Amino acid sequence: MADIVLDHVTKRYADGQLAVDDASLSIADGEFVILVGPSGCGKSTTLNMIAGLEDISSGELRIGGAVVNDLAPKDRDIAMVFQSYALYPHMSVRRNMGFALELAKRPKSEINQKVEEAARVLDLTEHLDRRPAQLSGGQRQRVAMGRAIVRSPKAFLMDEPLSNLDAKLRVQMRTEVSRLQNRLGTTTVYVTHDQTEAMTLGDRVAVLRSGRIQQVGTPTELYGRPATVFVAGFIGSPAMNFVPATVEEGELRTPLGTISPDDRQRRLLEGWSGGAAGRRELIVGARPEHFEDAALESVTGRPGLRFTVPVDVLERLGSDSYAYFTLDGGRASIADLDELAHDAGTVDLASGAEQIVARLDAASRIREGENAELWLDTTQLHLFDPDTGHNLACKTDHCDGTAGDGLNTSGEG
Amino acid sequence: MSAGAKAPLSAGARAQRRLGWALCAPAVVVILAVTGYPIGYAVYLSLQRYDLRFPGDSKFIGLANYGTALTSSLWWQALAVTAIITVISVAIQFVLGMALALVMHRALIGRGLVRTVILIPYGIVTVVAAFGWRYAWTPDTGYLSGLFGDATPLTSQVWGIAVIILAEVWKTTPFMALLLLAGLALVPEELLRAAKVDGATAWQRLTRIMLPLMKPAILVAVLFRVLDSFRIFDSIYVLTAGAYDTRSVSILGYDNLFTALNLGVGSSLSVLIFLVVALVAFIFVKGFGAAAPGGEDR
Amino acid sequence: MATIATTPDAPGGSSGAGAGGRTIRARGPQRDRNAMLGWTAANLLIIAVSLVPLLWLVSLSFKAPASITDGHFIPRHWTLENYRGIFRESLFTRALLNSLGIALISTVLAVILGSMAAYAIARLDFPGKRVLIGLTLLIAMFPQVSLVSPLFNLWRQIGIFDTWIGLIIPYLTFSLPLAIYTLSAFFREIPWDLEKAAQVDGATPAQAFLRVIAPLAAPGMVTTAILVFIFCWNDFLFSISLTSTESSRTVPAAIAFFTGASQFAQPIGSIAAAAVVITIPIIIFVLLFQRRIVAGLTSGAVKG
């Protein structure tokens, strides 16, 4: 077991493409860290560099204190779980799980004992003598996990290990992975594109975009204090809503209505130089759960913004309802959001109007196709610089230490 | 973001290069030893007067051998015969091959049997197959000889070429059919169902959906067959030995070497044949956009 | 609803949906039977056309010399004399040995060299890879007759004219493109993750190749071997051009020399018997490895 440190690690391919740009991240011994981001963000490349399957162009990678940049994968003592599981089709489950020990020339009895113990933990005992092709998807996934744990390596590297499972099994295996990692206490780096998986599994989560680490933090930190528009939009489901705003006479003019900032927000706006061009325009982010049906007792009398909109679609989920409506007055436009839309596949759907989703209490009597008065908890709003995409809160009062780390390293570039 | 922009190759990438070259080297050496050098040598020989009957009399004569070849009616006739054989046999192979592929793709019964049986013509030694056809048409001996009365097909140019084409079609249609079958497998069944729902007839489904989607596979198959047919030698050697004006360019080149023993003219023929083949391949790849198989590995 | 259910040009459009359904159901088995008959007829036709020329040679090979010109498809008098005859002649037995030896050696070498190059092409990144692919493609289309004159001359100069090695080298050259295409298609199908997994599991590149990749590529190698063997077995042009005696002449060339032996009384029976003998290994391959051969023939061509 060991800690893993990425020290200004960069990966540039022969064709000049920059896959990972100056990533610094330090993973403590026994920690479970998630690398998350849309496809092409460099998360798998980062993992492959830790494994030694791809070269590091510049920077330093340390495992357990030793620089391993030039070590072959076999000399790094790490185990990996692949998205495709990569089980050897011509070997039985037993030999698949024991292959690494066999290559390391361990005695037969020891291999057998370790394989059988891992099989017991993963409930694979009765399948040990089968071939991978005879197993179900979930069983294959467990064999891949078993192959990793048999070795008691310094670290586990997992590359989207659950993404080939169907939704129900994925949720089940998620808790399984979590339990296993707790029990073994082995340092784990886990790559996924699924933000739910990232939020539920990790001690800490690193959000990547276009080869750069955007923010590193606990799931709560990422959700509550996103450092950039990208992180804000990527973490959380349904995603945060973004609307453009202008600052006039100390108030925020938005398509939702005019918002009077509270003390915290006023301080942020005062400390903000006003963007590169000196414009007083910014992007306001509001999470769906910070809206409510204005008619409900729970919000009557509470300060906030009240506005009336026609509800296009209302989804009743039982526990709560999602109300969708569109706003005139332009969209918040920034590269981060374009990329998020691209990742979600909604890039073509984006019209001139901004679609907003609000999560309402199930008791709401609002009906689809009618006008409804909604309430927004304006104290919970996030304010972003439209030029850099940075959260204003992260510039003035250091929204959290880890986010600062992530930003600083990228800022040096 | 420190330097790194023009980072030198990492150790891993260098090792990969070295391994790649090392693994390919033996194959490249063998290929070049037998083609690169000889074709260069052929170009050299083609510029010499070099007759094996008078080996002492060799000397550099420039393009004179090409002049001899290109002004000879034999070359143009052989080229015409080869072109006719190639075009007609590939056209027939394509139609029959497509039908065969459809049978293998759609047949309710006996698919495996058909696939096995059609491999037999593919596998049979060309010379053997040619003997089979020769004795089939030999007067008195063959079961086909009475088919057209007293005609003796292998003693006239038109009938000789017809039998050569028959032998060629029989031998290589299976290959064409298998390539087309693989192309058919790339046509999604759902598209055909969608076309059916849209009201397309079976013929329209074939011409409007299947063939366009199979275009890459078709071009590769046709290119392969055209270039292979162009080299036709074995069947003609056995069936007519090039008599009755049924010589292909390959037969002509061979005769010039082993009958006329004229290495100079023979070599100029070799170069000319090579150039024609290269031209045909170029037209296919550039003109029709035939993808080179294995060429698009990314 | 009714207008949707009935197509405008349906015959007897007045009948309801139920009636239409019944007629279709009633016609079902009849249609199936017709389709079955149609497919059977098509299959029989294909099988007949594929086999008749071969069966004709078989028939000739069992005919006594006197009855060879009787034109009957099925021999009236069966005899093994033709087979006994060719196996008494060293012209044939020696050629058979040459054919087998040359084809087998060429096949083994082509699979080994081809595997190395194909693995590099499928898995490694190195400058010159595209040139190599282009080169192999060029060779696959090369007019072999263009090489006959220079090789004939060259082989005599370096002393390998009329030897096994003199045939093995050109066979290797022309079967390598085939071997490289087929094998690289197979290598490409082996998931790259397996190799990475082996590396992470602690295997050296050699161990990864020998213990993970090679076992998985074995079917591809068998397929390639069969295709290459058929190619070498089939060659005629090089064999008649680059040999002059029994010492290295292969069967296809030797058969052609059967005819030369006597201008007037052609040894049809002997040729037919020899033809049947050299066709047998191919038939065995085809019967045993039908799937593999089809996969191999089509893999290189369609993947692209």
pLDDT in tens, A117-151: 999 989 999 999 999 989 998 999 999 999 999 98
Q: How far is it, in rounded angstroms, from Cα A388 to Cα A275? A: 8
Enumerate the residues of chain B whose CB falls inside 8 A of the CB of residue C146: 39, 42, 253, 270-271, 273-274
User: What is the three-class DSSP state of A350?
Assistant: coil
- Considering the domain architecture, whether residues A130 and A212 belong to the same structural domain is answered as yes
- Considering the domain architecture, whether residues A210 and A276 belong to the same structural domain is answered as no
Higher pLDDT, C192 or C81: C192
* Shortest Cα distance, chain C CAs vs residue A101, angstroms: 8
Does residue A2 have a pLDDT over 80?
yes
Residue B35 lies in a domain: no
Q: Which residue of A has its CA nearest to B15?
A: A55
* Shortest Cα distance, chain B CAs vs residue A402, angstroms: 20
Q: How far is it, in rounded angstroms, from Cα B242 to Cα B236? A: 6
Q: Are A402 and A207 in contact (CB under 8 A)?
A: no
Domain boundary among A224, A254, A274: A224
What are A178-193's pLDDT values in tens digits? 998 999 999 999 999 9
Whether B231 sits inside 8 A of C144 (CB atoms) is yes
Enumerate the residues of chain B whose CB falls inside 8 A of the CB of residue A14: 9, 13
Q: Which residue of A has its CA nearest to B6?
A: A16
User: What is the three-class DSSP state of C8?
Assistant: coil
Average pLDDT of the segment spanning B157-167:
84
| Amino acid at residue number C51 | L
- Average pLDDT of chain C is 77
Give the helix ranges, DSSP H, for C89-163. 90-123, 129-141, 145-158
- 3-state DSSP helix/strand/coil % of chain A, to nearest 5: 35, 30, 35
* CA distances from residue A408 to A34, A213, A275, A412 in whole angstroms, order as listed: 20, 10, 19, 6
Give the helix ranges, DSSP H, for B32-63. 37-46
Q: Looking at residue C54, what is its pLDDT?
A: 83
Q: How far is it, in rounded angstroms, from Cα A293 to Cα A110? A: 64
- Considering the domain architecture, whether residues A294 and A195 belong to the same structural domain is answered as no
Q: For residue A335, which of A196, A209, A192 has the smallest C-alpha distance? A: A209
- Considering the domain architecture, whether residues A180 and A243 belong to the same structural domain is answered as no
User: Tokens standing for B224?
Assistant: 């392969």
Q: Which of A13-17, B10-14, C173-177 is most confident? A: C173-177
Q: How far is it, in rounded angstroms, from Cα A390 to Cα A406? A: 12
Q: Looking at residue C9, what is its pLDDT?
A: 40
Confidence of residue A293 (pLDDT cuts 50, 70, 90): very high
Whether A82 sits inside 8 A of C193 (CB atoms) is yes
- Considering the domain architecture, whether residues A277 and A168 belong to the same structural domain is answered as no
Confidence of residue A205 (pLDDT cuts 50, 70, 90): very high
Q: In the block, which residue shows the tokens 């008078």? A: B54
What are A234-244's pLDDT values in tens digits? 998 888 999 88
Enumerate the residues of chain C whose CB falls inside 8 A of the CB of residue B292: 133-134, 137, 304
Q: Are A163 and A192 in contact (CB under 8 A)?
A: yes
Q: Is B283 on the interface with C (CB under 8 A)?
A: no
Does residue A399 have a pLDDT over 60?
no
Q: Looking at residue A128, what is its pLDDT?
A: 93
φ, ψ of residue A7 to 5 degrees: the values are -115, 100
Higher pLDDT, A321 or C151: A321
Does residue B297 have a pLDDT over 80?
no
List the chains bordering chain A where 3 or more Cβ pairs fall under 8 Å: B, C
Residue B230 lies in a domain: yes
Whether B5 sits inside 8 A of A12 (CB atoms) is yes
Does residue A100 have a pLDDT over 60?
yes
List the chains bordering chain B where 3 or more Cβ pairs fall under 8 Å: A, C
Does residue C304 have a pLDDT over 50?
no
Q: Looking at residue A117, what is its pLDDT?
A: 92
Enumerate the residues of chain B whose CB falls inside 8 A of the CB of residue A413: 1
Other Cβ atoms less than 10 A from the Cβ of B143: the count is 17
- Considering the domain architecture, whether residues A202 and A288 belong to the same structural domain is answered as no
Q: For chain B, how far is it from start to end, CA to CA, in angstroms?
A: 30
Q: In the block, which residue shows the tokens 């009475």? A: B146
Higher pLDDT, A382 or B150: A382
What are A52-76's pLDDT values in tens digits? 888 898 999 999 989 998 888 888 8
Confidence of residue B151 (pLDDT cuts 50, 70, 90): low
Does residue A24 have a pLDDT over 60?
yes
Average pLDDT of the segment spanning A228-237:
90
φ, ψ of residue A284 to 5 degrees: the values are -105, 130
Whether A100 sits inside 8 A of C216 (CB atoms) is no
Q: Looking at residue B289, what is its pLDDT?
A: 62
- Weakest mean pLDDT among A87-96, A194-203, A229-238, C147-156: C147-156
- Weakest mean pLDDT among B75-84, C144-153, C255-264: C255-264
- Considering the domain architecture, whether residues A280 and A142 belong to the same structural domain is answered as no
CATH number at residue B189: 1.10.3720.10
Q: Looking at residue B294, what is its pLDDT?
A: 41
Whether B11 sits inside 8 A of A413 (CB atoms) is no
- Considering the domain architecture, whether residues A250 and A154 belong to the same structural domain is answered as no
Confidence of residue B61 (pLDDT cuts 50, 70, 90): confident
Q: Is B27 on the interface with A (CB under 8 A)?
A: no
Confidence of residue B291 (pLDDT cuts 50, 70, 90): low
What are B23-44's pLDDT values in tens digits? 888 888 888 877 788 888 888 8
Q: Is A152 on the interface with C (CB under 8 A)?
A: no
Domain ranges of chain C: 2-52, 83-303
List the chains bordering chain C where 3 or more Cβ pairs fall under 8 Å: A, B
User: What is the three-class DSSP state of A359?
Assistant: strand
State which H helix or E strand residue A93 sits in: helix A93-103
User: Tokens standing for A199?
Assistant: 């939020």
Q: Looking at residue C21, what is its pLDDT?
A: 41
Q: Is C128 on the interface with B (CB under 8 A)?
A: yes
Whether A57 sits inside 8 A of B4 (CB atoms) is yes
* Shortest Cα distance, chain B CAs vs residue A368, angstroms: 36
Q: Is C203 on the interface with A (CB under 8 A)?
A: yes
Residue B277 lies in a domain: yes
Does residue B146 have a pLDDT over 80?
no
Q: Are A36 and A206 in contact (CB under 8 A)?
A: yes
Q: Is C303 on the interface with B (CB under 8 A)?
A: yes
φ, ψ of residue B145 to 5 degrees: the values are -65, -25
- Considering the domain architecture, whether residues A233 and A374 belong to the same structural domain is answered as yes
Whether B2 sits inside 8 A of A57 (CB atoms) is no
What are C84-123's pLDDT values in tens digits? 777 877 778 888 888 999 999 999 999 999 988 888 888 8
Does residue C197 have a pLDDT over 80?
yes
User: What is the three-class DSSP state of A34?
Assistant: strand
Q: Looking at residue B58, what is its pLDDT?
A: 66
Positive or negative, the Cα torsion across B277, B283, B286, B291? negative
Beta-carbon contacts of residue C286 (< 8 Å; ≥ 6 apart)? B116, B119, B120, B123, C293
Please give the residue range of the domain that contains residue B138: 64-287
Residue B141 lies in a domain: yes
CATH number at residue A203: 3.40.50.300
Q: Return the bridge partners of A305, or none.
A: A376
| Amino acid at residue number B289 | G
* Percent of chain B clearing pLDDT 70 (strictly above): 82
- Considering the domain architecture, whether residues A149 and A83 belong to the same structural domain is answered as yes
Please give the residue range of the domain that contains residue A339: 229-411
User: Tokens standing for A85?
Assistant: 């599981």
Whether B234 sits inside 8 A of C237 (CB atoms) is yes
Q: Are B141 and C69 in contact (CB under 8 A)?
A: yes
Does residue B260 have a pLDDT over 80?
no
- Considering the domain architecture, whether residues A187 and A274 belong to the same structural domain is answered as no
Does residue B7 have a pLDDT over 50?
no
Q: Residue A1: CA atoms inside 13 Å, Cβ hemisphere, count?
A: 12
What are C228-243's pLDDT values in tens digits? 898 898 888 888 888 8
Q: How far is it, in rounded angstroms, from Cα A47 to Cα B223? A: 44
User: What is the three-class DSSP state of A186?
Assistant: coil
Domain boundary among A224, A240, A261: A224
User: Tokens standing for B23?
Assistant: 């693994």
Enumerate the residues of chain A whose CB falls inside 8 A of the CB of residue B4: 10, 12, 57-58
Q: How many domains does chain A have?
A: 2
Task: Please give the CATH superfamily to which domain C83-303 belongs.
Answer: MetI-like (1.10.3720.10)
Q: In the block, which residue shows the tokens 């008195």? A: B140
Beta-carbon contacts of residue B209 (< 8 Å; ≥ 6 apart)? B187, B191, B192, B195, B200
Whether A70 sits inside 8 A of B11 (CB atoms) is yes
- Considering the domain architecture, whether residues A204 and A264 belong to the same structural domain is answered as no
Q: Which residue of B has its CA nearest to A58?
A: B4
DSSP B291: P
Q: Are C242 and C151 in contact (CB under 8 A)?
A: yes
Confidence of residue A352 (pLDDT cuts 50, 70, 90): low
What are C147-189's pLDDT values in tens digits? 887 888 888 888 888 888 888 988 988 888 888 888 888 888 8
Higher pLDDT, A344 or A79: A79
DSSP A336: H
* Shortest Cα distance, chain B CAs vs residue C79, angstroms: 17
| Amino acid at residue number C48 | A
φ, ψ of residue A216 to 5 degrees: the values are -125, 135
Q: What is the dihedral of CA B275, B276, B279, B285, to 10 degrees?
A: -120
Enumerate the residues of chain C whose CB falls inside 8 A of the CB of residue B123: 230, 279, 282-283, 285-286
Higher pLDDT, B213 or B259: B213
Q: How many domains does chain B have?
A: 1
- Weakest mean pLDDT among A34-38, A359-363, B188-192: B188-192
